[in-house]
Amino acid sequence: MRHRFHSICPYFAMFPEQFAEQWISRCTKPGQTVMDPFCGRGTAPFQAVLMDRNAIGNDANPVAFVLTGAKVESPTLGSVKGRLRALEQSYNAEVVEAERLLLPSFFKRAFHHSTLRQILHLRRNLNWKVSRVDRFVAALALGALHGEMTNAEAYFSNQMPRTISTKPAYSLSFWRKHKLWPQRREVFSILRRKAAFRFESPRPTIRGQTYLSDVRTLSSAITNTKAPVDCIITSPPYLDVTNFEEDQWLRLWFLGGAAEPRVDIYSRDNRHKNPARYWAFLCEGWQALRPLLAQRSTFICRIGGRNIDPDSIKETLSSSVQFLARRWTLQDYTVSTLIRRQTDAFRPGSVGCRFEMDFCFDLYQ
């Protein structure tokens, strides 16, 4: 059975488990260390702990940090149930009412007022940066925050896509046009059911590490690595394809962020659009990772972009690898065509990225 933690919450541009599994078994042995410095929902580090490897996940996006931490540093089901009980007991609708009233109109049409108060209570009280249990509860809530409204057991919101958070103006006009109103959802019971479902798969015995850091400062954030990194499996942001802050804005709000889509809190350097800055950013990132690598290691990278061709990606990525290692060889690479995705309709910026490339480099320090 596919491990039930994998699908705790969708994430834009996530890679499939098979991708991580195949490279982990090809490039590492049990006990070695796998790192993903742009880990998204944590597929590579989680697959690594399932395969008895040490794992390090990192991402600048708090949503990614919560999802990866929930998977690789999971608490027990008993502690999750206990925490949900305590949160439910301490819930007082009046305490969050003023906060609810001040939210933009999007929120009032996205969630039933009683559901929104419960969400606000969780948002105030989950200490996801520090507590593993709260991180797991937050991950369950992020996975339930928005999706199909016909599934009353699964999602809190009015009709929305699961993967990305649609913009307020688009959502409001969609709901008005289709006369859609949010249904009342019992947040605590949905989370209890979700927790029981996820824990039908056994918790991994190895515990990984998760960091919430810009890749360029990651090595100073890591203080207690057990072993040098034997393999990086990663997928950096694609050139000019998406801005994760906009795509994830509602989940970021749940974790304490702004009550509107933003593009400038975590990514002020325009690295997504301008090719020269994008590649400079990756070179800086690779340079920062270098001190963490073993004498011999492997670097697996899935990458794509708009208005750029596969040959240029191959050439520029390969020359950027000098920042990761003294000597390197390109073992293998493939180009695959991307099919049009449902989410393209909400995010015009993604149209134009028609291929993805996978690279495998051997690195020598």
Among positions 51-90, residues that touch ligand SAM (CB under 6 A) are 59-61, 64
- The pair of three-digit structure tokens given for residue 274, joined into one six-digit string: 């301008």
- Give the span between the Cα atoms of 89 and 82, in whole angstroms: 11
- Give the span between the Cα atoms of 161 and 251, in whole angstroms: 13
Residue 301 contacts ligand SAM per CB under 6 A? no
Please choose, out of 27-35, 104-112, 231-239, 310-318, the segment that lies near ligand SAM by the rule CB under 6 A.
231-239
Which residue sits closest to ligand SAM, CB atoms considered?
40
Q: How many residues bind ligand SAM (CB under 6 A)?
A: 19
Among positions 187-216, residues that touch ligand SAM (CB under 6 A) are 214-215
Residue 48 contacts ligand SAM per CB under 6 A? no
Please choose, out of 39-47, 121-129, 167-175, 191-199, the segment that lies near ligand SAM by the rule CB under 6 A.
39-47
Backbone angles phi, psi at 360, to 5 degrees: -130, 115
In this structure, which amino acid lies at residue 72? V
**From 5, 11, 175, 346, residue interacting with ligand SAM (rule: CB under 6 A):** 11
Residue 5 contacts ligand SAM per CB under 6 A? no
Please choose, out of 6-14, 109-117, 119-127, 353-361, the segment that lies near ligand SAM by the rule CB under 6 A.
6-14
- Give the span between the Cα atoms of 81 and 86, in whole angstroms: 9
b or e along 332-362 (b: 16 or more beta carbons within 10 Å of the residue's beta carbon)?
Answer: ebeeeeeeeeebeebbebbeebeebbbbbbb
In this structure, which amino acid lies at residue 7? S
Least Å from the CB of residue 277 to ligand SAM: 12
**In degrees, to the nearest 5, what angle opens at C-alpha 324 toward C-alphas 306 and 322?**
75
Among positions 151-190, residues that touch ligand SAM (CB under 6 A) are none
Residue 136 contacts ligand SAM per CB under 6 A? no
- The pair of three-digit structure tokens given for residue 146, joined into one six-digit string: 């928005």
Of 178, 192, 112, 182, residue with least CA distance to 150: 182
Least Å from the CB of residue 211 to ligand SAM: 9
Q: How far apart are the first and last CA of the chain?
A: 39
Residue with smaller CB distance to ligand SAM, 63 or 187:
63
Least Å from the CB of residue 205 to ligand SAM: 23
**From 107, 155, 244, 249, residue interacting with ligand SAM (rule: CB under 6 A):** 244
Calculate the alpha carbon distances from 281 to 122, 284, 342 in Å: 36, 5, 29
Please choose, out of 7-15, 86-94, 314-322, 353-361, the segment that lies near ligand SAM by the rule CB under 6 A.
7-15
- The pair of three-digit structure tokens given for residue 334, joined into one six-digit string: 């493939």
Residue 235 contacts ligand SAM per CB under 6 A? yes
Site of interaction with ligand SAM (CB under 6 A): 11, 13-15, 38-41, 43, 59-61, 64, 214-215, 235-237, 244
